[in-house]
Amino acid sequence: MEDPTASPLFSMSFSKGIDVLAAFGPDRPLMNLPEMAAAAGISKSSAQRFAYTLETLGFLNKDLESKRYSLTPKIFELGYRYLLVDALVERANPYLLDLNRQISETVNLAEPYGTDMIYVARCATHLTTGVHMPLGRRLPIFCTSAGRAWLSMLPPEQARDLLKASPRPKYTPNTVTDLGQLMDMVAEAREQGYAYANGEYYRGDLNVAVPVFDKRGQPAAAVNISAPSTRWTLARMKRELVPNLLATSRLISTTPPTPGAAAPFRRGYTG
């Protein structure tokens, strides 16, 4: 397949600027120019130009003493704009809140990107939980209920290709990494209408999920319930929470929220 970055339409300079921003993370919250150059795979002179530009635009801050750069809160604007225009998020939010109030546990909406699921909407429990899941967090498709629920609606070969392409580290003793076993779990989810994961990414985190469909009937996301093993067993979640989850997914997929229910979340959704 032809390399899309070889196209004359591809802006390598813009791409490298994005690489500079993406280089910041928990292991690199602060960087000087040589560190920035190494992390982004660019020359020091390029790092200097990108850093100056991003600082001028307000996305980076430079400490005058250490000469190290850090991200500023303005970076939130880039990700938040997606939430402003994603009609599925706006459509789903009232139903996620209703489900959260019914069960008093955390409810999430996750959308696929590559071999990950990105969490784009969340109604958190008021009860104690050991899992912190901010919006925008990416979790692997292969070991999460949301990922398996979405995969279950794809043609089996496409699901297999995605699982084969996914790095599959063993995050906890419960993490299923075998491709054949994972395909069996996806097939089970396809048959039953929901998927599950038993502490496979976070220890003690139980979750169940069902797919959500767009207007064309294509799988677009998954809605999941996350709860700790200190309050639930997986068998009890399947028995008591999956029916509510299935009902919520059907509403998100087929029924626009009423104006009153949508009002607190209104960002331009039109149907």
Q: Is position 109 within any domain? A: yes
Mean pLDDT value across residues 95-117: 96
Taking the C-alpha atoms of residue 103 and residue 153, their distance in angstroms, rounded to an integer, is 26
Q: Is position 224 within any domain? A: yes
71-to-65, 112, 157, 176 alpha-carbon distances in Å: 17, 26, 40, 36
Q: Is position 168 within any domain? A: yes
177 in the same domain as 72: no
244 in the same domain as 110: yes
- pLDDT of amino acid 204: 94
Q: Is position 270 within any domain? A: no
pLDDT band of 271, cuts 50, 70, 90:
very low
Higher pLDDT, 4 or 58: 58
Of 76, 106, 132, the position where a domain reaches its end is 76
pLDDT band of 82, cuts 50, 70, 90:
confident
Continuous H helices in the chain: 12-22, 33-40, 44-57, 76-85, 87-103, 145-151, 156-165, 179-192, 234-240, 242-254, 259-262
47 in the same domain as 104: no
Q: Check which CATH number belongs to the domain holding 157 and give it.
A: 3.30.450.40
Q: Are 17 and 53 in contact (CB under 8 A)?
A: yes
| Total number of domains constituting the chain | 2
Structural domain of residue 202, as residue ranges? 86-265
Mean pLDDT value across residues 244-259: 93
102 in the same domain as 54: no
For the chain, the average pLDDT equals 93
187 in the same domain as 65: no
241 in the same domain as 125: yes
Q: Looking at the predicted structure, is the pLDDT value of residue 98 above 80?
A: yes
- pLDDT of amino acid 80: 84
pTM, 2 dp: 0.86
Structure tokens at 112: 């696929």
- pLDDT of amino acid 2: 76
Residue from 42, 10, 65 nearest 50 by CA: 42
Residue from 183, 207, 37 nearest 105 by CA: 207
Structure tokens at 117: 């699921």
Q: Is position 81 within any domain? A: no
Residue from 241, 179, 227 nearest 199 by CA: 227
185 in the same domain as 128: yes
Least confident of 21-30, 130-139, 225-234: 130-139
100 in the same domain as 33: no
**Spacing of C-alpha 195 from chain mean position:** 17
